[in-house]
Structure 1
């Protein structure tokens, strides 16, 4: 019997092992079922939420995935899970990792580590005294914005610079602009480079590309 759609609910037909009463699937099964119907950003959000909230682990999710040879988008799911296990704890953070850092051959930041005991940073380029924070509009408003400001100020007292980016800065040509900003700071602090162009970089003005390349 078909079930009518309800806001906040998703019905998936299938046979799954269950736990508890009423019967329900465990976290790993539920997350992978939802990922089967998700795009890449939605996968990253689902996996990152489950792992960062300590509801499961990448190891347990991989174990469940290994028993699903017909899982939709299995290869992409494995790649996304690998990035989540490396510390990309949101879809936005993964976009930065893939489209800014990795696509342009920037140094690999340490993720989810503390430059100050009270604060955990999204990306920390320790050798170059740089922190990168990835903020959605919802997160970076109200009281959160003041907490971020205080954190940035305290990091500045330690000689650490914080750069903040949002969604527009990590997608398409925006990712290329962001890569150039990060590369320029890293080069100022000793990184030898070079910044590698990605397919979108041809859309960035030549003057901007030359500015980075001549540092």
Structure 2
């Protein structure tokens, strides 16, 4: 991480730097406060904007590369509202966390982002099914996406999320991110 913050390397995409920073905070347990302090003490020569943006996302609850891509490629790219991150929910007496919750926008939609590395374990799959059932019993719509959908077809993900948000009462302020997205968007509208 110090290499990225202080020396950088040409040819690395800013998104790669952001994902490395998100993973450093969530996986390696590097404190967000420590990273902010280091950046103040010795500002990075490269990728300063990308690093500061990533720190903001982590501060808002983004905890994985998949969540990072969802925020940028689905929400921000299409004008969707920013959901609350890592909202607590109690299921079967256990406190769990929802990746994205749009309740603060008047819509009870939950979006779960399931990375293959963690969500492929049987115990986690069981827990996720219990969480889905609990959401259904509370009349809360939910959508579930993995790496493939978010990274390969973010416009389709946008269309589905937008459809549920609008159906549940959100005043649509979204927009297509490109001409190709616009064609798909009109089909979903």
Q: TM-score, normalised by structure 2?
A: 0.82
Could you tell me which runs of 5 or more consecutive residues in structure 1 were left unpaired when the two chains were aligned. 1-30
Structure 1 match to 2:102: 125
Deviating above 4 A after TM superposition, structure 1's stretches of 4 or more consecutive aligned residues are 37-42
Q: Report how far residue 97 of structure 1 moved.
A: 0.5
Structure 2 CA distance for partners of 1:39 and 1:111, relative to 1, 3 Å: same
More contact order relative to length (CA 8 Å, sep ≥ 6):
2
Could you tell me which runs of 5 or more consecutive residues in structure 2 were left unpaired when the two chains were aligned. none
Structure 2 match to 1:65: 39
Structure 1 match to 2:145: 165
Measured on the aligned residues, the alpha-carbon RMSD in Å equals 2.3
C-alpha distance in structure 2 between counterparts of 1:81 and 1:32, whole Å: 15
Structure 1 match to 2:52: 78
Structure 2 match to 1:179: 158
Q: Report how far residue 79 of structure 1 moved.
A: 1.1
| Cα contact 1:134–1:165 (8 A) shared by 2 | yes
Is structure 2 residue 2 aligned with structure 1 residue 32?
yes
| Cα contact 1:41–1:91 (8 A) shared by 2 | no
Is structure 2 residue 85 aligned with structure 1 residue 108?
no
Equivalent residue pairs, number = 179
C-alpha distance in structure 2 between counterparts of 1:32 and 1:48, whole Å: 14
Q: Report how far residue 150 of structure 1 moved.
A: 1.4
Structure 1 match to 2:168: 189
Q: TM-score, normalised by structure 1?
A: 0.73
Structure 2 CA distance for partners of 1:75 and 1:32, relative to 1, 3 Å: farther
| Cα contact 1:44–1:90 (8 A) shared by 2 | no
C-alpha distance in structure 1 between counterparts of 2:99 and 2:165, whole Å: 17
Deviations 1:34-91 (A, max 9, x none): 5535654543444334434683432321221123234332221111111111111111
- Which one has a larger percent helix, Structure 1 or Structure 2? 2
Structure 2 CA distance for partners of 1:133 and 1:41, relative to 1, 3 Å: farther
C-alpha distance in structure 2 between counterparts of 1:204 and 1:46, whole Å: 28
